[in-house]
Amino acid sequence: MFKDSDFKTSPDVPGPTKEEIRCLVICKSNVKKDDIVVEIGCGTGGLTLEFAKRSKQVYSTDKNPEAVKITRQNLLEQELLDNVNLYEEDALKLLESAPKFDILMVGGSGGDLYPIIEKASTKLNPGGRIIVTAILMETKTQSISKLKELGFIVEIIEVNISKGRIIDRGTMMFSQNPIAIIYTI
């Protein structure tokens, strides 16, 4: 895994997804060397880089030009740009134009969660998986209900991690905000 501090960040772009969450997403995604990954909402590029390192090709988009820019910088710095096609366009357009894929990674849906999942479900290769990381409560319930409706077997974990700061007086724990990972199996 990359360290959180490996990433350049921008004040206008959320992320990067914390190391521990990236680790769990990668485990749950079961990504393999010849997988095609489509990512909606790259943010700072945290998951983009992790998938790029472990798959054949990543197609990633974000509506926020600043997000695309910072993700490109992070990919460049880690020499992973060759593996990634970066777009600054509508998620549904990318899902239309992209080849069939093995993994859909939704890091942010810009209010289009339902059509994104519906469209993606028609372009998944056999054995393909859909993963959503959710910080909004509503994204959790909507992902589950739409994926169930489409016939997927869905699981969800909610992750609360706190990290120690080891000081002279002892060890203080600092919480990361809770995040849910919804994934099909």
Residues within the interface to a copy of itself (CB under 8 A): 1, 19-20, 23-24, 27, 111, 135-141, 144, 148, 154-164, 166, 169-178
In whole angstroms, give the CA distance from residue 48 to residue 32: 14
| Cβ-based nearer residue to a copy of itself, 121 or 142 | 142
The residues, any chain, with a CB within 8 Å of residue 88's CB and separated by 6 or more, are 61, 62, 63, 65, 68
| Cβ-based nearer residue to a copy of itself, 92 or 159 | 159
| Cβ-based nearer residue to a copy of itself, 57 or 133 | 133
Q: How far is the CB of 136 from a copy of itself (least distance, A)?
A: 4
Q: How far is the CB of 126 from a copy of itself (least distance, A)?
A: 20
In whole angstroms, give the CA distance from residue 82 to residue 62: 18
Q: How far is the CB of 24 from a copy of itself (least distance, A)?
A: 6
| Cβ-based nearer residue to a copy of itself, 82 or 127 | 127
Q: Is 30 left (phi over 0), alpha (psi -120 to 50) or beta?
A: left
57 forms bridges with which residues in the sheet? 36
